[in-house]
Amino acid sequence: MSALPPHVAVVGGGFAGLAAAIRLARGGARVTLLERRPFLGGRAYSFTDPATGDVIDNGPHALMGAYTAALDFLGEIGAASKLAFQPRLHVTLADPALGLGAVVAPRVPGPFQAPAALLRYRLLSPGDRLRLLVGAVRLAARPVASLREHTVAAALAMAGQSAAACARFWHPLAIATLNEAPEVAAAAPFAAVLRKAFFAGARAARFAVPRVPLSELYTADAQRALERAGGTVVTGAAVATLALDPGGVEAVVLRDGTRVEADAVVLAVPVAALLRLLPPALRHVEPFRALAGVATSPIVSVHLWLDRAVGWGAPFLGLLGGRAQWLFDCGPATGGGHRLASVTSGARFWDAASDDEIAAEVLADATAVLPALSAVRVRRTLVVRERHATLSLTPAADAVRPGVETPVANLFLAGDWIQTGLPATIEGAVIAGRAAADRALLAAVSGARPEAWQPVAAGV
């Protein structure tokens, strides 16, 4: 009688955990995915607004064509058709004094589309546009090692970028991709975004927005794909800790005392959750020790229900000159009227503000560039605060981001915070999840156990 396939436990039901679990199941492992909440989705999910019945996202998302791993994952689970792609790169930004301007790719051969779009951006002078393109090329071409200790602001200064170019292009792009202020954000992952998105051809540079709410975009399809491959999803399964033996992890222990025995474990949870569930013997071992000093950065979204539609001819709009950053057109509301939603990254300046104050400021920033909003009646506002949306990606934090392997040979890590060279994005989460799955499957099949790792006393 043949032995059972190896069993791998995956903790966390976001993009990283689902990508890892499906990869494992299709690789022949028995997989149990454990999710603390009663639903899947990690930090990218949707929910029903109790006042209106509308299904809304915790924060609107846009994906780039450069997100090849994330797009492949959506294709793998049969969800690719739920994205609406731009034909070519088109990002509209609005300044209260200068009006609308767009970074639009012209009809030229693919590799030249994104660079040509920068040269056509009317919110900058011709000289700044040329310096913008030259600076982008310089940043993308710099070796990663030469940027590791620099912030985005420092790298932009070295690239000769003007204050206007920073305010009207670089800073909005950097804050959106790194969820951190350019003065403290790490330059190396930002340069990776430029290489991956702007200099990898026309398909990489264009954006896509979901046609459906975020949870509908991927969670149900991913669960079906996992279960069809023989995997199991358990929601409402809060993990308390890991059970260790001298050879590694032998089980995941839930808060109710249930033990989930496993040949390998993938922890696809945020850093704070990871540190809470690690046994004391592991918290003082690298890379876990260094992660204790990593901070997080918030994202604040404001949902607006209007009595009529106010559009600008695109799915999203960059807001310049205020603190609100991006405005998304969410379409008709369930009870009539229209919905908009804003997203503001790195929004620590609103930590002490009330929801009403935040909504009023977002509406004022949007009205400053869309005057038609002044005649609209706002029926409802809802503020969603993701206080720990991503890690605060400073150069110091980037330096201690671990890979998927740990000192424990059958324990692996996944998530958008893993060192993929990219910021904390959906793309990075999928890349890390799949990489962790590959290592976990190998470890579970081989039965590899560490020789060097041994539990250490707390405080060492």
191 in Cβ contact with 142 (< 8 Å): yes
Q: Kindly state whether residue 323 falls inside one of the protein's structural domains.
A: yes
337 in Cβ contact with 305 (< 8 Å): yes
- What CATH number should be reported for the domain holding residue 331? 3.90.660.10
Quick one: 407 and 373 in the same domain? Answer: no
Quick one: 119 and 156 in the same domain? Answer: yes
Q: Kindly state whether residue 71 falls inside one of the protein's structural domains.
A: no
Nearest to 74 by CA among 4, 18, 131: 18
Quick one: 347 and 405 in the same domain? Answer: no
Cα 82 to Cα 274, 326, 329: the distances in Å are 32, 22, 17
Domain end among 204, 234, 256: 204
Quick one: 159 and 136 in the same domain? Answer: yes
Residue-range definition of the domain harbouring residue 348: 296-391
Quick one: 280 and 398 in the same domain? Answer: yes
Q: Kindly state whether residue 49 falls inside one of the protein's structural domains.
A: no
Quick one: 397 and 286 in the same domain? Answer: yes
Q: Kindly state whether residue 369 falls inside one of the protein's structural domains.
A: yes
pTM > 0.85: yes or no: yes
d(CA 270, CA 24): 20
DSSP per-residue codes, 353-422: S-HHHHHHHHHHHHHHH-GGGGG--EEEEEEEEEEEEEE---HHHHHH---SB-SSTTEEE-STTS-SSS
Nearest to 353 by CA among 298, 394, 306: 298
Quick one: 308 and 386 in the same domain? Answer: yes
Q: What are phi and psi of 24, to 5 degrees?
A: -65, -45
Task: Record the tokens describing residue 268, joined without a space.
Answer: 């696809």
Q: Kindly state whether residue 52 falls inside one of the protein's structural domains.
A: no
Quick one: 341 and 441 in the same domain? Answer: no
Alpha helices in 181-330 (DSSP H): 187-193, 202-205, 214-228, 271-277, 280-283, 288-291
d(CA 40, CA 15): 9
Question: Could you read off the pLDDT tens digit of each residue along the chain, which spans 460 residues?
Answer: 347 899 999 999 999 999 999 999 999 999 999 999 999 998 889 999 999 999 999 999 999 999 999 999 999 999 999 999 999 899 999 999 999 999 998 887 767 777 888 899 999 999 999 999 999 999 999 999 999 999 999 999 999 999 999 999 999 999 999 999 999 999 999 999 999 888 887 888 899 999 999 999 999 999 999 999 999 999 999 999 999 988 899 999 999 999 999 999 999 999 999 999 999 989 999 999 999 999 999 999 999 999 999 989 999 999 999 999 999 999 999 989 999 999 999 999 999 999 999 999 999 999 999 999 999 999 999 999 999 999 999 999 999 999 999 999 999 999 999 999 999 999 999 999 999 999 999 888 766 544 444 443 332 2
Q: Kindly state whether residue 58 falls inside one of the protein's structural domains.
A: no
Domain end among 178, 204, 230: 204
Quick one: 385 and 404 in the same domain? Answer: no
- What CATH number should be reported for the domain holding residue 413? 3.50.50.60
d(CA 273, CA 333): 35
Quick one: 105 and 178 in the same domain? Answer: yes
20 in Cβ contact with 222 (< 8 Å): no
d(CA 419, CA 215): 26
Task: Record the tokens describing residue 7, joined without a space.
Answer: 């069993």
Domain end among 171, 204, 237: 204
Nearest to 85 by CA among 75, 94, 96: 75
Burial bucket for residue 44 (CB in 10 Å: 0-12, 13-18, 19+): buried
> In the block, which residue shows the tokens 């250490």?
456
314 in Cβ contact with 360 (< 8 Å): no
Quick one: 285 and 415 in the same domain? Answer: yes
Quick one: 91 and 194 in the same domain? Answer: yes
227 in Cβ contact with 109 (< 8 Å): no
Report the domain count for the chain.
Answer: 3
Q: Kindly state whether residue 162 falls inside one of the protein's structural domains.
A: yes
331 in Cβ contact with 78 (< 8 Å): no
Q: Kindly state whether residue 145 falls inside one of the protein's structural domains.
A: yes
